Amino acid sequence: MRKIVFFIISVFVCVNSAFSATDRLSRDTSDPAFLMGQDEFLSQTYISFMDDVLKFGQAFSYGATNRFSLGAKAHYQIDFDGNQDGFSSVDVGGQYRLASNMKNGANIVSDALFGVLIGGSDTVRTPYYADSTYYAGLRLARQWSVLTLAATVKSSWVFDDTRGMAYIDLMPQAYFRIGPWRLGADFMWRKATTPAYDQEWLGGKIIRQYGRTQYIGHVDYEFESENAQVGFRVNILF
């Protein structure tokens, strides 16, 4: 009888832990492999400062299905040491979950990413001369209850008769869950057909989660320009 009671308790604890882990992943909006459920809505408000430029941004995303989400984001910036004030281009894009499989206690996922940057002030675009920048990418990730490892490859294209170019981004990421806290580290390597736009970024972030709200602080360093960026973001999942 004692063995039966112990077995029932063990099953209950394991099932409860599994549901808790699943629930944590479904609300962890900073996870690099996060994907919203159907009819969920995500607001991301952010502020950052780098090289005498202060940026304010807002992004909205909507889960159209359990596999597909759409989003848009834009920011306004103030240049304290120049004339690059104004709105950036609006980034409209989507994410589609290609596959999701459980294996050896981990969730292995792959996502297709795509979008376009349109409009905005000429003085704050990157590249500044681009009418539109189109991009597409693929993300692979493995999620455990306390750790997510991800890698993304993304290619972007600028169509212009004289100043068009393309570039490719490679982005490995590591993300840790420690109770209500999260820690993230990422690296981005960008290679462009116009060498002046080559970049290498190294970043870290710390997150505190309360229910469906996350407060994120981050620091990023760009090796080519030798400039650091500090920022803060609030994610709210509805």
For tokens 């990157």, name the residue: 126
**What CATH number belongs to 2-237?**
2.40.160.40
Q: C-alpha 18: how far from its chain's center?
A: 25
Query: Among 111-115, 124-128, 218-222, 232-236, where is mean pLDDT lowest?
Result: 124-128
Q: What is the pLDDT of residues 77-120, one digit of tens each?
A: 999 988 888 888 789 999 999 999 998 889 999 999 999 988 77
| 232 has pLDDT over 90 | yes
What totals of helices (H) and strands (E) does the chain contain, helices first?
Answer: 1, 13
pLDDT at position 1, please? 52
Confidence of residue 65 (pLDDT cuts 50, 70, 90): very high
pLDDT at position 129, please? 66
Q: Give the C-alpha separation, 24 to 153, whole Å.
A: 26
pLDDT at position 190, please? 97
What is the C-alpha R_g of the chain? 20
Compute the C-alpha angle 202/145/170, nearest 5°: 30
Domain ranges for the chain? 2-237
> pLDDT exceeding 90 applies to what percent of the chain?
71
Q: How far is CA 167 from CA 49, 70, 105, 153, 155, in A?
A: 25, 23, 36, 11, 6
Strands 68-79 and 90-103: antiparallel
Tell me the whole-structure pTM to 2 decimals: 0.84
Q: What is the pLDDT of residues 119-148, one digit of tens each?
A: 777 777 777 667 789 999 999 999 999 999
Task: With CA atoms as reference, report the closest residue to 107 among 133, 141, 77, 79.
Answer: 141
Query: Among 2-6, 102-106, 153-157, 171-175, where is mean pLDDT lowest?
Result: 2-6
| 3 has pLDDT over 50 | no
> pLDDT exceeding 70 applies to what percent of the chain?
89
For tokens 């990418």, name the residue: 137
